[in-house]
Amino acid sequence: MSYPAFKQLLLTSALTIGALTSLDAAATTLRIGTEGAYPPFNYVTPDGQLAGFDVEIGKALCQQMQADCSFVAQDWDGIIPALQAGKYDVILASMFITEQRKQQVSFTEPYYKAAMTFVTHKDDAISDFSPSALAGKVIGAQSSTTQADYIAKVYPDAELRLYPTQDEANLDMVNGRLDLMVGDLLPMMEWTTKTKDGDCCTLAGQLITDPTYVGEGVGMAVRKTDDALRQQLNQALDAIVANGTYKTINDKYFPINILTLK
């Protein structure tokens, strides 16, 4: 072998080893972005730790992938821009898979099924949820969500009031500043049945399952350039469903299987 050819072989080998090392490093270190203000899926405990269903699923995925993971709290409005800026590698924050979001990020397979619901005051007689019946009503939702999009499009004659977090919308519902609100089914079920504040209110009307708004379910989001990571997350998700880890976490938080909503 000539010296130039041998030199080229060494260079190629070095590049290959470097690429493999880089891939291995990427596979064993993962930064996960979540909101930290969306119980029971993600929230901050009194001692300042991130917790909830999303966080436990993230930890289970990391264990399955043999990855060292860290969690980063990020306000919802900036959660996709922060992913694009490299603040973390994956969003695991109960994000609906929608066509609009697919233009910005790549999604894994759904890790739970989505539906939205109306929430009304227990002492309110609202039973008609048609656009004409809710004209003039003050309806609350979290900003930059599919719930907000749904209200704006389906109920243009209602007054839409937006909040940075779902907790803030809930507080205004308790204090009577809202006639009703629209939220994700599972957090609203948790809030109305398991919290003191939520005792004011009840789920009402038919579930909202229009895929235009709830998408294909709830998935993890990665940058479009990180398809290998997306595939790794899908494989890990399949594994924790198959080995029962997902069910153990699910049953800790919910009375139903949220992969199927049954």
What pLDDT shows up at residue 8? 42
Sign for the pseudo-dihedral over CA of 169, 170, 173, 179: positive
What pLDDT shows up at residue 260? 86
Residue-wise pLDDT tens digits, 35-81: 999 999 999 999 999 999 999 999 999 999 999 999 999 999 999 99
Spell out the alpha helix ranges (H) of 184-260.
185-194, 211-214, 227-242, 245-253
Spell out the alpha helix ranges (H) of the chain.
3-28, 53-65, 79-84, 99-102, 146-154, 166-174, 185-194, 211-214, 227-242, 245-253
User: What is the DSSP annotation of 185-197?
Assistant: HHHHHHHHHH-SG
CB count in 10 Å sphere of residue 24: 10
Reduced to 3 states, what is the DSSP secondary structure of residue 20?
Answer: helix
CB 106 within 8 A of CB 228: no
Residue 57 CA to residue 120 CA, distance in Å, equals 31
Where does the chain hold its CATH 3.40.190.10 domain(s)? 26-112+216-253, 116-214
Cα-trace Rg, the chain = 22
- What's the CATH class of domain 26-112+216-253? alpha beta
User: What is the DSSP annotation of 93-112?
Assistant: EEEE--HHHHTT-EE-S-SB
What pLDDT shows up at residue 27? 52
Identify the H or E element spanning 179.
none
- What's the CATH class of domain 116-214? alpha beta
pLDDT per residue as tens, the chain (262 positions): 444 443 343 333 333 333 333 334 445 899 999 999 999 999 999 999 999 999 999 999 999 999 999 999 999 999 999 999 999 999 999 999 999 999 999 999 999 998 999 999 999 979 999 999 999 999 999 999 999 999 999 999 999 999 999 999 999 999 999 999 999 999 999 999 999 999 999 999 999 999 999 889 999 999 999 999 999 999 999 999 999 999 999 999 998 899 988 7
In this prediction the pTM is: 0.76
What pLDDT shows up at residue 2? 43
Q: Which two tokens stand for residue 81?
A: 């821009």
